[in-house]
């Protein structure tokens, strides 16, 4: 099988590089070598390094000071405030203040309350095909939506990346997950991802680089591809990328010949491969307390809920708000259910206000929260009390993640979350779409 989405075969029957997965090609380029192999250790150039108010200056400022307090290239470093904003305590207010002072003092790009870092990285075209992106957060894999090798790192690796402009890493094996066909109406990338998590054993993908392929994947818009990249963190992979097609290259102003028109990898490039069709996929939910506890929503339908949350770096993009509005238009949230909506960025918020989406959500009974991580990370307003049962568009439903450890969180798409809020219980959104 060959890669889809415009990455058609070209050249000889076994063209140079065909036995290298996309990840290996890009890491070789970043390392300045002809070829890399899984298990090798390389120094790779870092094209973008980013951090936020929780993982950034408060963890790296002092070690960097001991190393001379110099950055290799401040122009490649970005700082976001998204976790502790708006600040809810004097301590977090001081933390945000100090993070901003460090960023501005070191001349890095500062994004203060512009939205969740992973969303803004895609919105502003900071991640680009074939480049190495490191972020001090596990969901920094989101940059893989445009074909970047995007990796979440800890403080030590982040210090090295900003101080040296490079990262020392072990080249991972690559695996391929292929979704063919076309998802039915009401079935989204979130459903594809939850189904994948339910089907792929953790031991089979841990510490690999996951590459997505197939007509169903390349039929997704960029914001939906971001779900597959972002929740690679839940798969346990090092990076999770959708190889760039011509649409992405043209959107970002990248020469398609370097990426979309390059020879696709041969099957032998991958350590393991999975293939499914999306034609008959149903809406999925993940049961408490793991994203891997996935099943068709029909199997959990009727479970009463008290809260619904549309938010986070994986579930509050403009496409998510449009999905929710499609279900909520002309309807009201059920009595006893709290529906919270936190757009992923100010740009998303502005667009949703301009096209009337926010009006639909608010008229249905939703409460608007700031464009930040908020309840997804158990921060700020909207955290769950003991005994709450919530359906959420977030990427994790670990016990205590969104508030009380005595709360239960189900994961689903924006369609599923919005319709469940109307019904007052977990429900299949195709019921609503059939009469939308």
Q: Are 235 and 97 in a shared domain?
A: yes
Q: List strand residue ranges (DSSP E) for 36-108, in order.
A: 41-45, 48-52, 77-81
The CB-side HSE value for 164 (13 A sphere, CA atoms) comes to: 13
Using one digit for the tens of pLDDT, what is the confidence trace for 229-286?
A: 999 999 999 999 999 999 999 999 999 998 998 899 999 999 999 999 999 999 999 9
The residue assigned the tokens 């963190």 is 233
The pLDDT score that the predictor gives to residue 8 is 30
Q: Are 289 and 269 in a shared domain?
A: no
Give the whole-angstrom CA distance, residue 120 versus residue 109: 12
Per DSSP, 304 falls in state B
Using one digit for the tens of pLDDT, what is the confidence trace for 47-77?
A: 999 999 999 999 999 999 999 999 999 999 9
Closest CA to 168 of 20, 63, 25, 45: 45
Please check whether residue 4 lies inside any domain of the structure: no
State the CATH number of the domain containing residue 389.
Answer: 3.30.499.10
Task: Decide if 20 contacts 239 (C-beta within 8 A).
Answer: no
Q: Which residues, at least 6 apart from 187, have a Cβ–Cβ distance to it below 8 Å?
A: 278, 281, 282, 283, 413
The pLDDT score that the predictor gives to residue 34 is 96
- Give the end of a domain, one of 281, 310, 340: 281
Q: Are 242 and 218 in a shared domain?
A: yes
Quick check: 94 pLDDT over 70?
yes
- Confidence band for 435, pLDDT divided at 50, 70 and 90: confident
CB count, 10 Å around CB of 350?
14
- Confidence band for 15, pLDDT divided at 50, 70 and 90: low
Quick check: 2 pLDDT over 60?
no
Please check whether residue 11 lies inside any domain of the structure: no
Peptide bond into 54 cis (omega under 30): no
- Give the end of a domain, one of 261, 281, 301: 281
Quick check: 10 pLDDT over 60?
no
Quick check: 138 pLDDT over 80?
yes
Q: Are 254 and 291 in a shared domain?
A: no
Share of the chain above pLDDT 70, in %: 96
Q: Are 330 and 255 in a shared domain?
A: no
Which residue segment(s) compose the domain that 411 sits in? 284-433
Mean pLDDT throughout 320-349? 98
* CB-neighbour burial class of residue 11 (10 A; exposed 0-12, middle 13-18, buried 19+): exposed
Please check whether residue 171 lies inside any domain of the structure: yes
Please check whether residue 314 lies inside any domain of the structure: yes
Task: Decide if 78 contacts 126 (C-beta within 8 A).
Answer: yes
Quick check: 40 pLDDT over 80?
yes
Quick check: 5 pLDDT over 80?
no
The tokens for 264 are 């696709």
Q: Are 44 and 115 in a shared domain?
A: yes
- Confidence band for 3, pLDDT divided at 50, 70 and 90: very low
Q: Are 296 and 258 in a shared domain?
A: no
Quick check: 16 pLDDT over 70?
no
Q: Is the dihedral of CA 133, 135, 140, 142 positive or negative?
A: negative
Quick check: 407 pLDDT over 60?
yes
The pLDDT score that the predictor gives to residue 17 is 61
Q: Are 326 and 237 in a shared domain?
A: no
Please check whether residue 81 lies inside any domain of the structure: yes
- Give the end of a domain, one of 226, 256, 281: 281
DSSP-derived secondary structure for 235-273 = HT-SEEE----HHHHHHHT--GGGTTTSPPPPGGG-SEE
Give the whole-angstrom CA distance, residue 239 versus residue 362: 37
Task: Decide if 77 contacts 49 (C-beta within 8 A).
Answer: yes
- Confidence band for 12, pLDDT divided at 50, 70 and 90: very low
Mean pLDDT throughout 346-350? 98
Number of domains in the chain: 2
Quick check: 427 pLDDT over 70?
yes
The pLDDT score that the predictor gives to residue 14 is 41
Q: Are 170 and 99 in a shared domain?
A: yes
The pLDDT score that the predictor gives to residue 215 is 97
The pLDDT score that the predictor gives to residue 78 is 98
What is the longest distance spanned by two Cα atoms in the chain?
A: 64
Q: Are 230 and 306 in a shared domain?
A: no
The pLDDT score that the predictor gives to residue 41 is 97
Please check whether residue 6 lies inside any domain of the structure: no
Phi, psi (rounded to 5 degrees) for 330: 75, 10
Give the whole-angstrom CA distance, residue 391 versus residue 381: 17
Q: Are 90 and 60 in a shared domain?
A: yes
Integer distance in angstroms from the first to the last C-alpha of the chain? 38
């Amino acid at each position: 099988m060959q890669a889809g989405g415009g990455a058609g075969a070209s050249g000889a029957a076994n063209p140079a590089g065909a036995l290298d997965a996309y990840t290996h090609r890009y890491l070789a380029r970043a390392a300045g070598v002809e070829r890399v192999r899984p298990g090798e250790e390389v120094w790779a150039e870092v094209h973008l390094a980013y951090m936020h108010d929780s993982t950034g200056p408060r963890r790296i400022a002092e070690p960097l000071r001991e190393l001379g307090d110099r950055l290799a290239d401040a122009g490649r470093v970005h700082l976001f405030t998204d976790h502790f904003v708006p600040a809810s305590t004097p301590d977090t207010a001081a933390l945000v203040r100090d993070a901003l002072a460090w960023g501005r003092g070191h001349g890095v790009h500062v994004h203060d309350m512009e939205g969740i870092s992973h969303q803004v990285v895609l919105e502003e075209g900071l991640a680009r095909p074939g480049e190495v992106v490191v972020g001090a957060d596990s969901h920094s894999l989101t940059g893989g939506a445009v074909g970047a090798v995007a990796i979440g790192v800890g403080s030590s690796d982040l210090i090295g990346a900003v101080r040296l402009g490079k990262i020392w890493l072990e080249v991972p094996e690559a695996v391929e997950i292929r979704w063919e066909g076309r998802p039915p109406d009401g079935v989204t990338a979130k459903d594809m991802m939850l189904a994948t998590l339910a089907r792929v054993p953790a031991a089979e993908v841990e510490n690999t680089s996951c590459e997505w392929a197939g007509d169903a994947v390349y039929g997704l818009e960029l914001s939906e591809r971001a779900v597959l990249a972002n929740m690679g963190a839940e798969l346990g992979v090092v990076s999770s990328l959708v190889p760039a097609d011509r649409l992405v290259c043209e959107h970002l102003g990248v020469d398609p010949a370097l990426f979309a028109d390059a020879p696709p990898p041969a099957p032998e490039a991958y350590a393991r491969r999975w293939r499914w069709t999306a034609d008959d996929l149903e809406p999925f939910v993940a049961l408490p307390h793991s994203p891997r506890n996935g099943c068709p929503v029909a199997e959990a339908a009727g479970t009463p809920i008290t809260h619904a949350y549309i938010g986070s770096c994986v579930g509050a993009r403009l496409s998510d708000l449009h999905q929710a509005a499609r279900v909520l238009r002309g309807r009201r949230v059920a009595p006893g259910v709290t529906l919270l909506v936190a757009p992923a960025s100010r740009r998303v918020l502005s667009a949703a206000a301009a096209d009337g989406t926010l009006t639909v959500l608010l008229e249905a009974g939703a409460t608007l929260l700031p464009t930040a991580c908020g309840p997804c990370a158990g921060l700020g307003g909207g955290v769950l009390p003991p005994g709450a049962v919530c359906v959420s568009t977030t990427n994790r439903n670990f016990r205590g993640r969104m508030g009380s450890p005595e709360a239960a969180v189900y994961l689903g798409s924006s369609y599923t979350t919005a319709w469940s809020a109307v019904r007052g219980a977990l429900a299949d959104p195709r019921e609503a779409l059939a009469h939308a």
